[in-house]
Amino acid sequence: MIERLAQRGSQWRLVYRGRSLPAMPFAEELAAAHPQRVTTSAADREPRPDLAAILREAPAGTAVYCCGPGPMIDAIEELMPTVCPQGTLHIERFTASPRTDGAPNTAFDAELRGSGRVLRVPADRDLLSVLREADPTLDSSCENGVCGSCETRVLDGVPDHRDDVLQPDERERTDLIYPCVSRARGARIVLDL
């Protein structure tokens, strides 16, 4: 990504934080190749960077890409609307963040429109595993709600989005679901399968 941005003459900055420099792949190479644009920060040597200050420096229209541990991503998500409202945030988590309203999982029915089959999804199972019993060829990759490969169209019912694919302003969508982690909000959901 950095090489492509540099080739295009785009403005960019990388803030690279890790436990220690030896544990940070390509840190030295990136800093040497782009000394004015790359800032490395190792937790074993330096205090945590001021995320709000970094975001405040971003010019209007900045695309902020954030990848790393959940608490850091949560902090960036919380800061963006007030500190960098002119930017857009793109995140990548290594595992799905827990996105529930605190209510326990409940069982629901998933109707497959193509076949008319109705599958019962118990409270202790995810939707994708139940769907796979009916169709073992369904696409998926991470099965943690971060990659988006299992996206499925919803024809009726309301999804309980627990994925990290959708941005916060997209969570009210009712036309798709990521069945590896998301569930139905009600007793039934109808899928375009």
| Residue 10 within a domain | yes
Mark whether 120 and 160 lie in a shared domain: yes
Q: Establish if 68 belongs to a structural domain.
A: yes
Give residue-wise pLDDT tens across range 57-100: 999 889 999 988 777 888 899 999 999 998 899 888 766 555 66
Query: Do 56 and 119 reside in the same domain of the chain?
Result: no
Which residue range(s) make up the domain with 16?
2-92
* Three-class HEC string of the chain: CHHHHHHHCCCCCEEEEECCHHHCCCHHHHHHHCCCCEEEEECCCCCCCCHHHHHHCCCCCCEEEEECCHHHHHHHHHHHHHHCCCCEEEEECCCCCCCCCCCCCCCEEEEECCCCCEEEECCCCCHHHHHHHHCCCCCCCCCCCCCCCCCEEEEECCEECCCCCCCHHHCCCCCEECCCCCEECCCEEEECC
Looking up tokens 């796979």 gives: 132
Which residues are within 8 A (CB) of 96 and not within 5 positions of it... i.e. 6 or more apart? 144, 145, 146, 162, 163, 164, 181
pLDDT exceeds cutoff 70 at 178: yes
C-alpha distances (whole Å) from 57 to each of 61, 62, 86, 87, 112 are 12, 10, 11, 11, 49
Question: Among residues 92, 117, 145, which one ends one of the domains?
Answer: 92
Tell me what the mean pLDDT of segment 166-172 comes to: 85
> Do 88 and 158 reside in the same domain of the chain?
no
For residues 68 and 145, state if they share a domain: no
pTM above 0.75, yes or no: no
Average pLDDT estimate for 142-153: 87
Domain-terminating residue out of 92, 122, 139 = 92
Residue 167 belongs to a domain? yes
For position 146, what pLDDT does the model report? 80
The answer to whether residue 57 sits within a structural domain is yes
CATH number, domain containing residue 174? 3.10.20.30
Average pLDDT over residues 45-68: 91
pLDDT at 48 over 90: no
Residue 6 confidence (pLDDT): 84
Does the structure show a pLDDT above 80 at 19? Answer: yes
User: Is residue 137 predicted with pLDDT exceeding 90?
Assistant: no
**Count of domains observed in the chain:** 2
In a domain, 97, yes or no: no
- In this structure, the answer to whether residues 9 and 87 fall within a common structural domain is yes
Domain identity same for 46 and 123 = no
| Shared domain check, 136 and 62 | no
Mean of per-residue pLDDT scores for the chain: 90
Domain end point (choices 35, 62, 92): 92
> Is the same domain home to 86 and 35?
yes
Based on the fold, state whether residues 88 and 6 are members of the same structural domain.
yes
CA 115, chain centre distance (Å): 31
